[in-house]
Chains A and B, each alone.
Chain A
Amino acid sequence: MTILGMNRRNALIARLNPREAIKGVNQKFETKERLAASGVPVPPTLALIASETEAATFDYARLPDAFAIKPNRGRRGEGVILVDGRVEGGWRKLNGEVLTERMLRAHVTRILAGELSLEGGNSDAALIEPLIRTHPDFARLVPFGLPDIRIICLGDVPLMAMTRLPTVESGGRANLHQGAVGAAIDFRDGAIFRAVLGQDEVFDHPSTNAALIGAVLPFWRETVDAARRCSGALGLGYVGVDLVIDATRGVQVLECNAYPGLEIQNVNAAGLGARIELVQRQQRAKARKTRGTRQAPDSLAGLRPFGSAGTVLRDVGREMAGRVAGALAIPAPLAA
């Protein structure tokens, strides 16, 4: 089975992603702290407004000319305001509208009330970050919106990568379902080798006519390196990492997804299932090797006969499953 379907993905996530870790990635600020502690580059935090009293005393005048304000537990980019410069009496939003300080305060109040957050939340915090500006190499392909990179990782092994390029139809959003272009990236050199719009393969960007196939992404090594560290930092065994390339700060991890979508397989014209099996087989082989060299068994194992019996059974089962899967699986090279 080379394609990863919804059923198997859900089973995989149930086994590899603990509940607390899944909850954790919904909180942007806490996720950033954890990632930064593991050396993953994340956007800096200008301010975190966590309560009404903080909001009342917050000095909006000291905000820079360009910033982004978002709910800490937002969903699908809802409630995000992007500001690009100052105008008389306030700021100018990225779409050209004027944002006065009063409007900004009202927006913060809405965020704090949890109106723009994930369901079940009745309070939230407002997160303010510097505005991300797309790297010129990316901007050559698509000069508007914020193109991002999605890398799916199993533990610290990157499995598949794509970049999502906004179009005029998608309204500048990097969302495949809203009409953005998905482009598959070759892990070896960070070059685009296939691009998809909806169900159809494309070769140029539909809005800018820039050639996509063969275009090489900047900082590719750093991008993959950042994505590989996320799993360990957040405790997620299977994770979809969303990254952007900022013009001045370089690679930044924007978000980590505990339930990454499966559309990436259509973009890459390849299945995730075979790659996951390959990685797991290698991990099992490695685990067997280290078990063989270990000398004394756990002193507690003798005290819990049922526990150790269960372990033995599980190992035997794994061995058998590995053999069956090994016989059936078609070997697929990891790099595209």
Chain B
Amino acid sequence: MRSDDLRLPGDIALLRTGYALTAVIAATFGAIVWTLFDRSDNVVTSTVIALFGDPSRPWDLPGMHLLLVMPMGACVVVFVRSVLGWKTFGLFTPMLLALAYLQSGPIAGPVISTTAILIGMMAVPLLKSLNLSRVGFLGTLIAIVVSALGAMALEFRQPALVSAFPVVVTALIVERWWNAFEADGPKKAVRMTATTLAVALMIQGLVAAPPVVWLASERPLALPLASIVLMIVLGRYQGLRLSELSRFRAANHGA
């Protein structure tokens, strides 16, 4: 009998907790999207504002900051890949995604990009059935995501929200998601999407942290130079990845 055939009471409880958590996250997510686009005063919007503050507030970072922290984001990606061993879409997709967040705001960024990705995911099966070339597919996907976001922004008179949103990154993520879905199945694809978003959130939190912002304004070159050193060190790391500790459990017990 294989271990994944077992359905113990503890497993079932865990599964139910997981479902409940997913439902709560989905509901919160929906409420935030609603508040972002519909600014009228009602129960949902006032609750969201009370809980999270105004979700459409921007980061308000100096223009140079975005450029200076890019190496730091890359550094996090290198760390996540070769030390933690988490699988993300593409090489530096999480970093690009985090930059997109920085342009739109701490809450608006993740929420709008996830919405755009969800819209794209729904459009993919339709586009795949049209047998387009890869470029044609990506172009159409970009147009669809833009149309959906633009329609929401215009309908609720919030054009500033999506004006500078990097749609190309979103389209690339949707395409990679679909490739992973076809090659490795839904479970792995969902996991990789979640990891990509989580790493992007981590990078956002790190590069917008007050000490980092202060350092970037006081010693502009300190961050990129430190990142270079750190990435050279990380790039030479040849030990086991964190994820491999559990992957090679069987090999380790015997050795």
A-side interface residues toward B, CB under 8 Å?
Answer: 1-3, 5-8, 11, 196-201, 262, 265-271, 274, 332
Contact = CB atoms under 8 A, between A and B. Distances in A.
Contact of A7 (B4, B238, B248, B249): B238
Interface in B215-255: 237-241, 244, 247-255
Given A5-B241, A5-B244, A7-B237, A268 B3 contact: no
A8 B250 CA distance: 19
A197 B5 CA distance: 13
B187 interface: no
A270 B238 contact: no
A272 B183 CA distance: 28
Most buried by A among B2, B4, B250: B250
A41 to B, nearest CB: 31
B186 interface: no
B244 A3 contact: yes
Given A7-B239, A199-B3, A266 B250 contact: yes
B2 A269 contact: no
Contacts of A270: 251, 254-255
Contacts of B240: 1, 3, 5, 7
Contacts of B139: none
Contacts of B239: 1, 5, 7-8
A8 B171 CA distance: 33
Contacts of B253: 269
A266 B3 contact: no
Contacts of A269: 250-251, 253-255
Contact of B251 (A7, A11, A265): A265
A210 B177 CA distance: 41
A201 B1 CA distance: 10
Given A3-B251, A196-B250, 13 more contacts: A1-B239, A2-B255, A5-B241, A6-B85, A7-B239, A8-B238, A201-B250, A266-B248, A269-B250, A269-B251, A269-B254, A270-B251, A274-B255
B251 A6 contact: no
B93 interface: no
Contacts of A196: 250
B82 interface: yes
Contacts of B247: 266
Nearest to A269: B254
B76 to A, nearest CB: 17
Given A8-B238, A8-B239, A11-B238, A3 B252 contact: yes
A198 B4 contact: yes
Contacts of A201: 250
Nearest to B243: A6
A308 B134 CA distance: 51
Contacts of B4: 198
A199 to B, nearest CB: 6
A271 B2 CA distance: 24
B45 to A, nearest CB: 47
Interface residues of B, number: 20
13 contacts: A5-B238, A5-B239, A5-B248, A6-B244, A7-B237, A201-B250, A262-B248, A266-B247, A266-B250, A269-B251, A269-B254, A269-B255, A271-B252
A1 B237 CA distance: 13
Most buried by A among B244, B248, B252: B248
Contacts of B250: 196, 199, 201, 265-267, 269
A268 B250 CA distance: 8
Contacts of A265: 248, 250-251
A197 B3 CA distance: 10
B251 A266 contact: yes
A53 to B, nearest CB: 26
A23 B244 CA distance: 28
A269 B248 CA distance: 9
Contacts of A5: 238-241, 244, 248
A150 B239 CA distance: 25
A196 B250 CA distance: 10
B238 A268 contact: no
A199 B254 CA distance: 14
Contacts of A266: 247-251
A103 B241 CA distance: 47
A265 B3 CA distance: 20
Nearest to B183: A76
B251 A200 contact: no
Most buried by B among A267, A270, A274: A270
A52 to B, nearest CB: 21
A138 to B, nearest CB: 23
Contacts of B237: 7
B255 A3 contact: yes
Contacts of A198: 2-4
A7 B82 contact: yes
Given A1-B240, A5-B241, A198-B2, A268 B248 contact: no
A17 B85 CA distance: 23
Interface in B68-90: 82, 85
Interface in B18-76: none
Contacts of B241: 5-7
A-B pairs, top 7 by smallest CB distance, nearest first, are: A269-B254, A265-B251, A5-B240, A266-B250, A2-B255, A8-B238, A271-B255
